[in-house]
Amino acid sequence: MKISSIVTALLLGISLSVSTLAKDTPGVAASETPSLRNTVTVGVVRRVKDAVVNISATKTVAQRVSPFGADPFWQQFDAGQVVKMPADSLGSGFIIHPEGYVVTNHHVIDRARKVNVELADGRKLPAELVSSDPDADLALLKITSDKPFPAVELGDSSDLMIGEPVIAVGNALGYSHSVSTGIVSAVHRDLRTGENKTVMGDLVQTDAAINPGNSGGPLLNAYGQVIGINTAIRGDAQNIGFAIPVNRLRDLIPELMNPRQVRRLDIPMKLFERRKLSPPANIDVSVHFDTSTAPRVVSVNGKPVVNLVDAYAIMLKATTTTKEIVLGLADGSEKRYPVKASAQPQTVVDARRILGITVEQVTPMLAEKSQLASEDGLLVREVLKDSVAAKAGIRAGDVIIQLGRYRVGTLDDFGTVMQHLPEKGRVRVGVIRGSNIGFTAIEL
């Protein structure tokens, strides 16, 4: 048989197969052949793409500037001055609530002075860090707009099947909204160092292509539900990637959105979520205020809630003027909880009592916002009149970086040194004011 005859036969076979498919499909005419291009993956991407975001974080890094340029000979001697320079890191994230709460990895925004979130429609919005958990490698950001944001649906990672299809969407190597597909290769994987120390545990392994920049993006199932947060790859392998199970995020919501940490408000109540799964991917979620047989929470301050994120998003709107949080229950009853300002950390209380200053720990984002030269230390917010700090010339806006002989970068450092201050005597204080570093002494 000639090659042309074989090709003709193959084309006829394909044509007959498609015609037969249309003929054998109930209710589908030959002219209405189902599109083989419009796959499950296409449907999932259409559904979630607007809720997947790209994240850029500006950080300050120490870098040695060689007077000999890029000459490889001199670079081996580490010659040159170490200077701090801005550097950008890229990552991904996804919106979990219409009010603009965005999930990403902690390592994407760690030590960032400024974070921007780019939406699928091209808008770039500044993001506020709500909270983060370094151990879980999860962070929660907040963006704002005059319109609600599209949000993804959180799935459940407790019943993942080895081999089930998954889809990764993210900012791979800076290529925004890149899509890759694969399967769940394994569950309960641990990432270990060369010394066999576990860095992260109980991860989902996938062969969907994950590259630098995918960190923080969603790993989705065939129903478009988030079942993991992409976090790491094996650099010495092909298509071995890892994702944090979504249930770890769901369980951490009460901490990541804790009003005490985020808004410095004390509400004597903690909500939790119950989830009931039914095939193929249905999740019945209920919110409760007690671990007992308490009725389901259906509203918070009169606004309906579907899940835990809804409930805590409402509670985070509370301010110091809010008197109480009212939970509406499924049986028609209510539970009321008073709202009050959280107690200051003991270190802050001691600083005000002993030194006469109100201090706040400096973070990279606070440094960017307040135009501070240092990314750590204690920012002086207030100096009491006639206090020992005022007599030493310390002013509001100064950053304390040394107390006595010790460098202080955090509230914990400051509190530890404060415990060992003498009852009387002079104590040296290192201060950054503007771009200048100076020293003074307080007389106790």
Q: Which residue has the tokens 């008073």?
A: 338
The residue annotated as part of the active site, out of 215, 286, 299, 387, is 215
The residue annotated as part of the active site, out of 97, 107, 177, 288, is 107
| Residue 201, number of CB atoms within 10 A of its CB | 10
Contact predicate 361/410, CB 8 Å: yes
Nearest to 234 by CA among 269, 256, 209: 209
Q: What distance in Å separates the CA atoms of residue 111 and residue 132, rounded to the nearest whole number?
A: 11
- Give, rounded to a whole angstrom, the gap between the first and last alpha carbons of the chain: 104
Determine whether 145 is an active site residue. Answer: no
- CA 151 to chain centroid, in Å, comes to 15
| Residue 200, number of CB atoms within 10 A of its CB | 16
Six-digit token string for 150: 């599209």
Determine whether 107 is an active site residue. Answer: yes
Determine whether 180 is an active site residue. Answer: no
Q: What distance in Å separates the CA atoms of residue 138 and residue 125, rounded to the nearest whole number?
A: 20
Contact predicate 277/286, CB 8 Å: no
Handedness of CA 124, 125, 126, 127 (dihedral sign): negative
Q: Where are the alpha helices (DSSP H) in 90-166?
A: 106-109
Give 324-390 as a DSSP string: EEEEEETTS-EEEEE-EEPPPPHHHHHIIIII-EEEEE--HHHHHHHT-S-SSSEEEEEE-TTSHHH
**Residue 190: phi, psi to the nearest 5?**
-115, 140
| Residue 320, number of CB atoms within 10 A of its CB | 10
Mention every residue, 6+ apart, whose C-beta is less than 8 A from residue 364: 59, 60, 111, 112, 113, 375
Q: What distance in Å separates the CA atoms of residue 286 and residue 306, rounded to the nearest whole number?
A: 7
The residue annotated as part of the active site, out of 106, 137, 177, 387, is 137
Contact predicate 155/281, CB 8 Å: yes
Q: Which residue has the tokens 């991904």?
A: 92
Catalytic residues: 107, 137, 215
